[in-house]
Amino acid sequence: DIQMTQSPSSLSASVGDRVTITCQANQDINYHLNWYQQKPGRAPRLLIYDVSDLETGAPSRFSGSGSGTDFSFTISSLQPEDVATYYCQQYETLPHFGQGTKVEIK
């Protein structure tokens, strides 16, 4: 099974800060990596697919990069509405999600 290690598990940053979350796979997953946002009490929302493609309607301050086993997700300028938990998800094999990163405003 492909395991995804996401870090940090939580972070606190100020409005306007650049925030980066990483996700590491225990084997090569090519470009098969997505990022989701889940606000409290809500269903997840797809933000980034295929490592770096922005889902229609997602704000351009969200971006993704990486290849092979190491990936990152960045919010270029943190906004209050970005408070949420973010998950990476690989689909090289059966879908599997990272443990999540809870993002809060300092």
Partner 1 sequence: QVQLVESGGGLVKPGGSLRLSCVASGFTFSDYYMTWIRQAPGKGLEWVSYISANGNYTKYADSVKGRFTISRDNAKNSLFLQMNSLRVEDTAVYYCARDATTVRSDSFDIWGQGTMVTVSS
Q: What is the token pair recorded at 78?
A: 């943190």
Judge whether 28 and 43 are in contact, CB under 8 Å. Answer: no
Q: For residue 102, state whether it binds partner 1 (rule: CB under 8 A).
A: no
Can residue 49 be called a binding residue for partner 1 (CB under 8 A)?
Answer: yes
Where is 101: in which H helix or E strand?
A: strand 101-105
Q: Is 31 in the site for partner 1 (CB under 8 A)?
A: no
Site residue total, partner 1 (CB under 8 A): 21
- Sole binder of partner 1 in the list 12, 39, 50, 70 (CB under 8 A): 50
Q: Is 43 among the residues that bind partner 1 (CB under 8 A)?
A: yes
Interface with partner 1 in residues 58-97 (CB under 8 A): 87, 89, 91, 94-97
Q: How far apart are the first and last CA of the chain?
A: 37
Torsion of CA 87, 80, 39, 73, to 10 degrees: -10
Contacting residues toward partner 1, per CB under 8 A: 32, 34, 36, 38, 43-46, 49-50, 55, 87, 89, 91, 94-100
